[in-house]
A = this chain, B = another copy of it.
């Protein structure tokens, strides 16, 4: 019996590898859908709907009769009895693949999460979408310049691919998609600030690519602050290097922390809480357990850390499955070698950067490559076609289709109480 924890890119690739094999597989995930995380920022900025980038795990594995999908939350892994414990059930395994991924990391400021959500789950990005769209609504009915200005200021923390993509997408949303929607404000006046602790954007890319990305961000009027850190976060304001910036909307794209399950495997973990694994992805002393994806610390090119990207997770997933098939045949697991297909980040319409081997390019060419590759990899025909349709449409019209504010509302829909102060004496923009 093979148990796989996690239905992300790693766990799913492993499960698929067992297709047609004489192995019983149980895949446990706490959410019912596989998420195409690279496009989460598109949901946060109303470009795509949740269903466009998510597929029920069951539907993906429907025809693989030897796989059973369980919607549940793993609370404990018992190495000695080889049991995976959920609040509902206990699963005994002969082989275990742990692919539980990572969440964002607030560097010891966990209290910052509600103030500055990240982008890992659909719930995360729907909340971000709500905040971003609501900010413009608040600005439209603001009664003071301060209120209006803080509502139209967006701060993105962390200039890795996610941060760069968010900053660019928010700027485009304001400058193009919302352009003519308001009467009291011009969304193009919005200020998007991208904060990066390091000396350049996209630190994992080449210096040359960073420069190109920086230029493209500035072209989109994104204010990039390098060598800067968030020193304080509070309701309605953020301190960047101790300078107070009033803002309603702070987005966290700064750090990753591996799933707590990584700590239950008895091996050491690295600074990001990732499990230290053998070259063959097994856990020291436990050849029946393998850890893969964002929660495992792996290296390539003799020492370089394997990046937390979907191709890496997918390669490791297939390899882990093959290792188990080897073990069942009585062979030994083989070491895993990550094949770097290159990396890319998109900044906006016609704006992106790409590095494939020695090849480096930016602008529309990189953007087209990015669109093409992401469409190819999107899971499921329907999604691909629907997404493609929307992108074509959005490209020519700048329209963003999914501009919905799903507010948590009471029976009569009181919205986001925080922003609903009783009016002072007749406000300036009331009709008198």
Q: A310-363: which residues lie under 8 A (CB-CB) from chain B?
A: none
Query: With an 8 A cutoff between CB atoms, is A93 at the interface?
Result: yes
Query: With an 8 A cutoff between CB atoms, is A373 at the interface?
Result: no
Q: Which B residues touch A1, using CB under 8 A? A: 431
Segment at the B interface, from A15-23, A50-58, A294-302:
A50-58
| Contact of A181 with B432 in the complex, beta carbons under 8 Å | no
Contact of A421 among B87, B122, B427 (CB under 8 A): B87
| Contact of A404 with B56 in the complex, beta carbons under 8 Å | yes
Q: Which B residues touch A422, using CB under 8 A? A: 87
Query: With an 8 A cutoff between CB atoms, is A141 at the interface?
Result: yes
Segment at the B interface, from A164-172, A217-225, A248-256, A395-403:
A395-403
Q: A119-154: which residues lie under 8 A (CB-CB) from chain B?
A: 121-123, 126, 133-134, 137, 140-141, 143
Name A130's closest neighbour in chain B (CB-CB): B32
| Contact of A432 with B71 in the complex, beta carbons under 8 Å | no
| Contact of B421 with A88 in the complex, beta carbons under 8 Å | yes
Query: With an 8 A cutoff between CB atoms, is A180 at the interface?
Result: yes
Query: With an 8 A cutoff between CB atoms, is A271 at the interface?
Result: no
Most chain B CB neighbours (cut-off 10 Å) among A63, A143, A411, A421: A411
Contact of A63 among B26, B137, B180, B414 (CB under 8 A): B180
Contacts A409-B30, A413-B121; is A71 near B181 (CB within 8 Å)?
A: no
Query: With an 8 A cutoff between CB atoms, is A90 at the interface?
Result: yes
Name A88's closest neighbour in chain B (CB-CB): B141
Q: A375-432: which residues lie under 8 A (CB-CB) from chain B?
A: 381-383, 385-386, 389-390, 393, 399, 401-409, 411-415, 419-423, 426-427, 429-432
Give A33 to B407 CA distance when docked, in angstroms: 11
Q: Which B residues touch A381, using CB under 8 A? A: 393
Kindly provide the distance from the CB of A273 to the nearest chain B CB, expressed in whole angstroms: 13
Contacts A70-B140, A409-B123, A413-B121; is A404 near B63 (CB within 8 Å)?
A: no
| Contact of B62 with A404 in the complex, beta carbons under 8 Å | no
| Contact of B50 with A406 in the complex, beta carbons under 8 Å | yes
How often does this chain occur in the complex, in copies?
A: 2
Q: Which B residues touch A237, using CB under 8 A? A: none
Query: With an 8 A cutoff between CB atoms, is A92 at the interface?
Result: yes
| Contact of A423 with B90 in the complex, beta carbons under 8 Å | yes
Query: With an 8 A cutoff between CB atoms, is A68 at the interface?
Result: yes
Contact of A383 among B184, B401, B413 (CB under 8 A): B401
Q: A170-185: which residues lie under 8 A (CB-CB) from chain B?
A: 178, 180-184
Give A385 to B419 CA distance when docked, in angstroms: 36
Q: Knowing that A73-B415, A121-B409 are A-B contacts, what are 15 other residue pairs whose CB atoms are under 8 Å apart, sorted by A's residue number?
A: A49-B51, A50-B406, A56-B181, A58-B178, A62-B181, A68-B184, A70-B140, A72-B420, A87-B422, A87-B423, A89-B427, A90-B430, A91-B431, A259-B412, A383-B401
On A, residues with C-beta under 8 Å from B are 1, 26, 30-33, 49-52, 54, 56, 58-59, 62-63, 65, 68-73, 85-93, 103, 113, 121-123, 126, 133-134, 137, 140-141, 143, 178, 180-184, 259-260, 381-383, 385-386, 389-390, 393, 399, 401-409, 411-415, 419-423, 426-427, 429-432
Can you offer 26 A-B residue contacts whose CB atoms are under 8 A? A32-B404, A33-B403, A33-B405, A58-B181, A59-B181, A59-B403, A68-B183, A70-B141, A73-B415, A87-B421, A87-B422, A88-B423, A89-B423, A89-B429, A90-B427, A90-B430, A92-B432, A103-B411, A113-B411, A121-B413, A123-B408, A381-B393, A382-B390, A382-B393, A385-B389, A386-B389
